[in-house]
Amino acid sequence: MDSKNDQLYDLLLCTFGTEANIAKAFDVERATHWKRKVPERVALLCHLSEAIPYRYDPIQYGRNMKGLKLVLEKQTTNEVTTNDQTIHSAAA
């Protein structure tokens, strides 16, 4: 792998096999231009995917962590959690 590539791009290559498969997975024409910097929206989708072992780093995208409310640790179960107490009350 090219050491100049974005680490996430290299991970996507390992996961999907080819640039064409990466593009197909994210519904774009080409993903070659992601070698230097994978778009933030793709990084977030990779973070949410159980199939891609990637953890989103907001600092890498120039985000200030102060106002960001994102769980950076991946859940290991299929359990969905929410902070909305009305949903918990309605379900009970």
Element (H, E) at 41: helix 40-48
Percent of the chain with pLDDT over 90: 46
Q: CB of 46 within 8 A of CB of 54?
A: yes
pTM for this model (two decimals):
0.65
Q: Given this model, what pLDDT does residue 25 score? A: 94
Q: Is residue 31 predicted with pLDDT exceeding 80? A: yes
Q: Give whole-number Cα distances, 15 to 8, 22, 36, 51, 56, in Å.
A: 10, 9, 18, 8, 16
The CA distance from 63 to 58, in Å, is 5
Q: CB of 39 within 8 A of CB of 62?
A: no
Q: Given this model, what pLDDT does residue 40 score? A: 92
pLDDT grade for 30, boundaries at 50, 70 and 90: very high
